[in-house]
Structure 1
Amino acid sequence: MCAIVGIYGNENAARLASLALFSMQHRGQEATGISSSCEGKIFTKKDRGLVSEVFTDEALNYLKGNMAIGHNRYSTAGGDSILDAQPVFAKYKLGEISIVHNGNLINKKEVRNDLIDKGAIFQTGMDTENLIHLIAKNTKDRLRDRIKEALDRTIGAYCFIIQSRNKQFVIRDRYGIRPLSLGKIKSGGYIVASETCAFELVDAEFIRDVKPGEMLIFSEGHEEPESIQLFEPDFRPCAFEYVYFARPDSFVDGKTVYETRENMGKTLAKNDSTSSTKYDMVVPVPDSGVPAALGYAAQSGIPFKYGIIRNHYVGRTFIEPTQEMRSMKVKMKLSPMRSLIEGKSLLVIDDSIVRGTTSKRIVRMLKDAGAKEVHFRVASPEIKFPCYYGIDTPNKEELISNNMSKDEVCKYIEADSLEYLSIEDLKNSIGNDRNYALESFNGDYFVKK
């Protein structure tokens, strides 16, 4: 789920990269980093913390040059050491290189063990470092050829931006699982970013999405990036980007995230098996449940009310690395509007249920605040399987819908009723014009080792 960005051909590259990362802070809160290139040398600054904390004026003044790459970390591989923050930097035969990565390489252990057997020394626990070693050990004269052969040994979901001393290489895997978009900066140069919401802040115009299996090469003397189709595409964008990850104002592979979430809510209302029940209001779990709740309210005619208030100084709970931190942040983050909900029957809408502990706390919080009934609606299907393509969902044993029926989950979270969106309705809500990565819902692990 990490955020990555590349800026090429702008004298304020590092500052623009920091603005883009700020707009994509929702994709990772553990650490952030930027590498810039100037006069054949790469400068790197990275640290644990938020973008606004790490990238002070002093840090940005250090990051010189007209090209930069950046990363916000949400860990699915590696630990919490600063060494496991990105970009990953190294020196090798062809010079200096820096890499940022969003995704997860499912054959990382096999590749790493093989590299270690051949003498490689690893500094981090990240799968991203595999690519550095594969590139460095290759004997081809051109970096693009080394990258291609390294990717031939790389299996999984990935978006890479690789920066040398004077070029940038942008790669999206053949499935297009994680999003990546290309834009033109009005003050000069190009931007590539995980989400289009980053374009607005740096005053850039959307050009297109990076194609599945494509490599873009930015280099001096070329007004436009060179495009090479490395792999035959088999497009499978991640459905969970539309459910939760992406910001509502982003376009992901041609579809507006806000509208798809609103469609999910409308479909929930159309299919609600308890529609005869009298609800006093539709209440979203902020912020990711808001568009779906608005869609439900519009379809059903039931008033939309902010019965839960969010503290925006607390980050996203799902992407916290431990259950203890997630539980603490739920209490800090959400507060009931007692005067609004007391004695009322609530229709509460959230984007998903993963472990069930957060949903249970929300229901209990609302009932403790005087709600007469709490009916829970989920704008996605039941999550029954872990994801190995860049989402830190837990193992099967921790996924509540893998271990309990819908009625058992309803009883566990102490709701008066519970309904989910079906897989088919999710696809229709997004736009059933392509295959989606739905492994969290149906266990279809289409990327094979």
Structure 2
Amino acid sequence: MSGFFGCVSKRDCVADVFYGTDYHSHLGTKRAGMAFWDGQSFVRTIHSLESAYFRNKFEGDLPKFAGSRLGIGVISDGESQPITLTSHLGRFSVVTIGRVDNIEELTGELLERKINFAELSGSKINPTELVAILVSLGTDFREGIELVQRKVKGSCTMMILTERGIYAVRDRFGRTPVLIGKNGDGYAVATESSAFANLEYLPCRELGPGEAVFVTENGTEQVIAPGRRKQICSFMWVYYGYPSSWYEGINVEDARYRCGAALAGRDDLKEVDYAAGIPDSGIGHAIGYANEKRIPYKRAFVKYTPTWPRSFMPQNQNMRDLVAKMKLIPNEAFTKGAKMVLLDDSIVRGTQLKDNIIKLTESGADKIHIRIACPPLIYPCVFLNFSTSRSTFDLFTRRVIRELEGTEEFSEELLQEYADPDSERHARMVELMRRTIGADTLRFQRLDDLVKAIGLPKEELCTHCWDNSSYME
């Protein structure tokens, strides 16, 4: 995924954009960038994050932005951004969150119009540059934004930095959040509300699906009214969101407590010593489970962060798996002879969870019962660039289904049967997953319980990964 932070202020806002963007580091793994209007020109910097923290990479760039009162920053899981463009609308910079699923089609259309692309992202067209070009085709920024929302299949949340202020735009169906904060000097725009508190901004509003506002130091002006249909990504609460953040008025950590409690409420486990969580996102689910079951919560795993900040920094997958293994240290004071319930947010490829179970077993654990805070991931995400591991062939569930069915061709009817938690095929799938990862028992959250735990109507949540249910157009 990705996250962004922008600021329009009556004073120098460079520090706010720098630290506000850094507060989104959990949402991106590859690249980051900032752009400022310093009163005379646009100044931009972009760095890779695959070998260092955001702060270390960008701190040396801050002096060249000094005095700027308008700025945007982004931490991205993919392409280099911000993109700065000169057009008939003037000069502007763009950052995006989302996925342009029809990028080849749109690229072809623009090339036929003899429009050129300057930036590349991994030898491919940079999606953010494509979005910036689409914006520039409008007679004004409103029309350009509407063109993007109409043309892009997938999702596109963005900020557009101009000489006068920032256009903040939530994607058409609100799959990712956009929040506005306010202090005595101006306004900030963020993906995560948790970025506001220590920078002394008070959250004042959240954009609706497809809504666009123009933010200046004096306030916000609605440019495009919100649409009626909303499907915010459920994984914002299950996994990606920061524990202290709020979306749609619902706190992330509180929702995770409810997820864990829902799992406990359906669990018939009797002889268990305590609940534990895979750091970081599994911890909230584990606490909720322990509270509901009235059993202790213990840290069977401790996350070592000083020199292993992220499990996904290296590009090579084998190295990524090794880093993930090195980060988590079992605490033998709690593992020896223990019968534990271990909670995690999800199972994507299954390899890390299998390694964690092996590590706990080697540390003396007697029984390891795995509980997953969401249903099995059967469909790859087509709306957000969560992870390359979420391709159809990499998903653990799809590998298991292929093994059970003896084929790589599945009808939608068959996949829906595997998604049904009350079906025989679902039970067979979960059992084979259990044996593969080496758990004593394995249970997944039911989708209806997950929806209830989050607290929004199902039609307002994107649940595509689990049941292929979503707005596609």
Q: Please indicate, yes or no, whether the TM-score normalized by the shorter chain is above 0.5.
A: yes
Tell me which of 33, 46, 55 is aligned to 1:52: 55
The amino acid of 1:111's aligned partner reads L
CA contact (8 A) 2:82 2:93 kept: yes
**Match for residue 201 of structure 2?**
204
Deviation at residue 320 of structure 1 after TM alignment:
6.6
CA contact (8 A) 2:234 2:462 kept: yes
In structure 1, the residue corresponding to 2:382 is in which secondary structure? coil
Tell me which of 341, 346, 354 is aligned to 1:347: 341
CA distance in 1, matches of 2:315, 2:190: 24
The equivalences for 1:191-230 within 5 A come to 191-219=188-216, 223-230=218-225
Tell me which of 169, 174, 177 is aligned to 1:176: 174
Structure 1 pair 219–190 and aligned structure 2 pair: CA distance change class (3 A): closer
**Match for residue 71 of structure 1?**
74
The amino acid of 1:423's aligned partner reads L
CA distance in 2, matches of 1:97, 1:166: 10
CA distance in 2, matches of 1:320, 1:288: 21
The amino acid of 1:294's aligned partner reads I
Are residue 117 (structure 1) and residue 95 (structure 2) matched? no
The amino acid of 1:268's aligned partner reads L
The amino acid of 1:433's aligned partner reads P
The equivalences for 1:9-24 within 5 A come to 9-24=9-24
The equivalences for 1:272-287 within 5 A come to 272-273=267-268, 275-276=269-270, 278-287=271-280
CA distance in 2, matches of 1:100, 1:325: 29
Deviation at residue 53 of structure 1 after TM alignment:
1.4
| Post-superposition CA distance 1:156-185 (Å, at most 9, x none) | 222110012222111112311011111102
Tell me which of 297, 300, 303 is aligned to 2:293: 300
**Match for residue 382 of structure 2?**
388
The amino acid of 2:38's aligned partner reads C
Structure 1 pair 427–305 and aligned structure 2 pair: CA distance change class (3 A): same
CA distance in 1, matches of 2:177, 2:380: 20
In structure 2, the residue corresponding to 1:225 is in which secondary structure? strand
CA distance in 2, matches of 1:293, 1:394: 24
Are residue 327 (structure 1) and residue 330 (structure 2) matched? no
CA contact (8 A) 2:142 2:224 kept: no
CA contact (8 A) 1:106 1:388 kept: yes
CA contact (8 A) 2:176 2:233 kept: yes
The amino acid of 2:287's aligned partner reads L
The amino acid of 1:286's aligned partner reads P
Tell me which of 299, 302, 305 is aligned to 1:309: 302
| Post-superposition CA distance 1:3-25 (Å, at most 9, x none) | 11110124232210111112111
Deviation at residue 46 of structure 1 after TM alignment:
1.3
CA distance in 1, matches of 2:216, 2:177: 23
Structure 2 residue runs without a partner (length 5+): 401-428
CA distance in 2, matches of 1:135, 1:430: 34
CA distance in 2, matches of 1:10, 1:268: 49
Deviation at residue 297 of structure 1 after TM alignment:
0.7
**Match for residue 41 of structure 2?**
41
Tell me which of 70, 83, 89 is aligned to 2:84: 89
CA contact (8 A) 1:10 1:67 kept: no
In structure 2, the residue corresponding to 1:100 is in which secondary structure? strand
CA contact (8 A) 1:176 1:236 kept: yes
**Match for residue 401 of structure 1?**
397
The equivalences for 1:225-240 within 5 A come to 225-230=220-225, 232-240=227-235
CA contact (8 A) 1:40 1:166 kept: no
Deviation at residue 281 of structure 1 after TM alignment:
1.6
Tell me which of 61, 64, 77 is aligned to 1:62: 64
Are residue 159 (structure 1) and residue 157 (structure 2) matched? yes
Are residue 367 (structure 1) and residue 367 (structure 2) matched? no
In structure 2, the residue corresponding to 1:387 is in which secondary structure? coil
Deviation at residue 230 of structure 1 after TM alignment:
4.8
Q: CA RMSD in A?
A: 1.8
In structure 2, the residue corresponding to 1:165 is in which secondary structure? coil
The amino acid of 1:258's aligned partner reads E
Segment drifting more, 102-111 vs 318-327 = 318-327
**Match for residue 437 of structure 1?**
462
CA distance in 2, matches of 1:108, 1:143: 21
| Post-superposition CA distance 1:198-226 (Å, at most 9, x none) | 00121100101111111101247xx2211
CA distance in 2, matches of 1:147, 1:286: 39
CA distance in 2, matches of 1:179, 1:335: 34
Tell me which of 438, 455, 464 is aligned to 1:414: 438
**Match for residue 336 of structure 1?**
330
Deviation at residue 318 of structure 1 after TM alignment:
6.1
**Match for residue 270 of structure 1?**
265
CA distance in 2, matches of 1:315, 1:409: 29
CA contact (8 A) 1:11 1:66 kept: yes
- Count of aligned positions: 432
Tell me which of 169, 187, 191 is aligned to 1:190: 187
Deviation at residue 232 of structure 1 after TM alignment:
2.6
CA distance in 2, matches of 1:22, 1:136: 29
**Match for residue 377 of structure 1?**
371
Deviation at residue 428 of structure 1 after TM alignment:
0.7
The amino acid of 2:199's aligned partner reads V
Tell me which of 95, 98, 106 is aligned to 2:101: 106
CA distance in 1, matches of 2:55, 2:288: 33
Deviation at residue 347 of structure 1 after TM alignment:
1.0
CA distance in 2, matches of 1:335, 1:10: 47
The amino acid of 1:397's aligned partner reads F
Structure 1 residue runs without a partner (length 5+): 76-83
Structure 1 pair 318–418 and aligned structure 2 pair: CA distance change class (3 A): farther
In structure 1, the residue corresponding to 2:361 is in which secondary structure? helix
